[in-house]
């Protein structure tokens, strides 16, 4: 999952590189005294996730049923940013207090390369051939596998068919896909249809400018850093990012609901018809359904502007500070096995990253009643096949650079405290303060 970057609105600008430099200097080998067997000889393994990984109590109970001496407890952060803060803080304390299994979002993974020795190598026979090649590579740092992939985030367009009907637009998902350009869908066409919609509706076209920016950045080969050196590009000279920033904020004046993603107003927007479409990685379907209780009309169209796109995707790691490392490795391998990830998809919409699942009939035939019985298995498999198999380059400063630009966009789109140029100037100042 990834749901987070699955990017969320991030409010504090911190240089990832700086965080981990501090972490390394502050690290010690301290660890908790907890973790041993209880009076009955059972050990408790903790799993830290965020948002919704689809790991239900029933699924975790399956593991205990097969491993009677192990109890699994999951803690869930409300947002990925909260989970990242907890991870970095505890790494700075030498790993004390980290869960036995820690979930990590793809956008943080490059930051962990300098700290690879703080995580266990998860290479195992079960991993051979399990993953899409690019997903497997994303889980590696310092020549070892520190992250077992959970999901990927192939993107479609989710839409409110009732709002489309009221605005005189087609509602059938195939007709909506064609309306947005089908296989030749472009961002220009998405915005054009949006203007047609907003001319006939009181609702906005999409929820947030940052969501559109996230999608477009995910289609760039190397948005913020030079793949040949890993060094950050000058933000002042980054014309690709600046062009997207300008174009999206211009369109957002009429098309955005001006809502900060994951905030209370954004959540309320699902209840008050604030917007008609959303950038929709597969994991977003779970968030839409959970926030839209009592609101009907959502559907999914097998189409995405600019071709394919992937937003998010996560990993499970095993910190070396844990007290039950081998047991934690076994649990992480089990949770990320195809069988469990298919169940997670059914629960939360997190599309598996495991090769075997792409031909799993139970996944391919799955529908989602909340989304008008949309064949979500088929749709997101098709969207996954449209994703560029060479993922965008993300270096050690990626998370911080995304945060700076997202904050700049939110000052214009959500807070409306700055115009686009003033906010960009502030972004350049924040970039300089990173000292990259």
Domains, the chain, with CATH or none = 43-152+313-365 (3.40.190.10), 153-312+390-434 (3.40.190.10)
User: CA-CA distance, 32 to 35, in Å (whole number)?
Assistant: 8
pLDDT, position 7 = 37
* HEC string for the chain: CCCCCCCCCCCCCCCHHHHHHHHHHHCCCCCCCCCCCCCCCCEEEEEEEECCCCCCHHHHHHHHHHCCCEEEEEEEECCHHHHHHHHHHHHHCCCCCCCCEEEEEHHHHHHHHHHHHHECCCCCHHHCCCECHHHHHHCEECCEECCEECEECEEEEEEEHHHHHHCCCCCCHHHHHHHCCHHHCCHHHHHHHHHHHHCCCCCEEECCHHHHHHHHHCCCCCCCECCCCCCECCCCCCHHHHHHHHHHHHHHHHHECCCCCCCHHHHHHCCCCCEEEEEEECCHHHHHHHHCCCCCCEEEECCCCCCCCECCCEEEECECCCCCHHHHHHHHHHHCCHHHHHHHHHHHCCEECEHHHHHCHHHHCCCEHHHCCECHHHHHHHHHHCCCCCCCCCCCCHHHHHHHHHHHHHHHHCCCCCCHHHHHHHHHHHHHHHCC
User: CA-CA distance, 75 to 200, in Å (whole number)?
Assistant: 45
pLDDT, position 26 = 35
Q: Give 118-174 pLDDT, tens digit per residue.
A: 999 999 999 999 999 889 999 999 899 999 999 999 999 999 999 999 999 999 999
Q: Give 330-377 pLDDT, tens digit per residue.
A: 999 999 999 999 999 999 999 999 999 999 999 999 999 999 999 999
On the CB side of 126, CA atoms within 13 Å amount to: 15
pLDDT, position 194 = 98
pLDDT, position 78 = 82
pLDDT, position 28 = 34
Q: Using 70 as the pLDDT threshold, list the residues of the chain that sit under it.
A: 1-34
325-335 and 57-66 are packed helices; what angle lies between their axes, rounded to 10 degrees? Answer: 120
């Amino acid at each position: 999952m990834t749901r987070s970057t699955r990017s969320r609105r991030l409010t504090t600008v911190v240089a990832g590189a700086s965080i981990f430099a501090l972490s390394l200097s502050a690290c010690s080998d301290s660890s908790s005294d907890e973790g041993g067997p209880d009076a009955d000889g059972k050990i408790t393994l903790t799993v830290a996730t965020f948002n919704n990984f689809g790991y239900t109590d029933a699924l975790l109970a399956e593991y205990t049923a097969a491993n009677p001496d192990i109890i699994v407890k999951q803690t869930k952060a409300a947002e990925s940013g909260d989970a990242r803060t907890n991870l970095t803080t505890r790494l700075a304390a030498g790993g004390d207090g980290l869960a036995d299994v820690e979930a990590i979002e793809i956008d943080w993974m490059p930051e962990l390369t300098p700290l690879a020795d703080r995580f266990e190598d998860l290479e195992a026979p079960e991993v051979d051939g399990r993953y899409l090649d690019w997903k497997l590579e994303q889980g590696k740092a310092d020549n070892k596998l520190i992250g077992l992939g959970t999901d990927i985030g192939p993107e479609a367009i989710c839409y409110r068919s009732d709002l489309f009907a009221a605005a005189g637009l087609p509602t059938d998902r195939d007709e909506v896909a064609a309306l947005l350009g089908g296989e030749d869908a472009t961002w220009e066409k998405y915005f054009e249809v949006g203007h047609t919609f907003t001319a006939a509706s009181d609702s906005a076209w999409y929820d947030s400018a940052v969501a559109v920016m996230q999608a477009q950045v995910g289609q760039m080969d190397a948005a913020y850093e030079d793949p040949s050196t890993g060094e950050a590009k000058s933000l002042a000279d980054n014309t690709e990012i600046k062009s997207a920033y300008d174009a999206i904020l211009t369109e957002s004046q009429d098309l955005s609901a001006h809502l900060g993603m994951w905030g209370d107003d954004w959540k309320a927007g699902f209840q008050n018809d604030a917007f008609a479409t959303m950038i929709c990685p597969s994991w977003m379907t779970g968030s839409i359904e959970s926030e839209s209780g009592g609101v009907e009309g959502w559907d999914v169209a097998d189409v995405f502007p600019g071709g394919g796109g992937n937003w998010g995707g996560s990993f499970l790691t095993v910190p070396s500070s844990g007290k039950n490392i081998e047991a934690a490795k076994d649990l992480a391998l089990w949770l990320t096995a195809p069988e469990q990830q298919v169940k997670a998809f059914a629960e939360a919409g997190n599309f598996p990253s495991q090769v075997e699942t792409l031909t799993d009939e139970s996944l391919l035939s799955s529908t989602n009643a909340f989304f008008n019985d949309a064949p979500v298995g088929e749709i997101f498999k098709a969207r996954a096949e449209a994703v560029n198999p060479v993922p965008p380059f993300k270096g050690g400063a990626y998370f911080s650079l995304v945060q700076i630009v997202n904050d700049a966009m939110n000052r214009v789109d959500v807070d409306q405290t700055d115009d686009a140029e003033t906010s960009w100037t502030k972004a350049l100042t924040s970039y300089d303060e990173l000292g990259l």
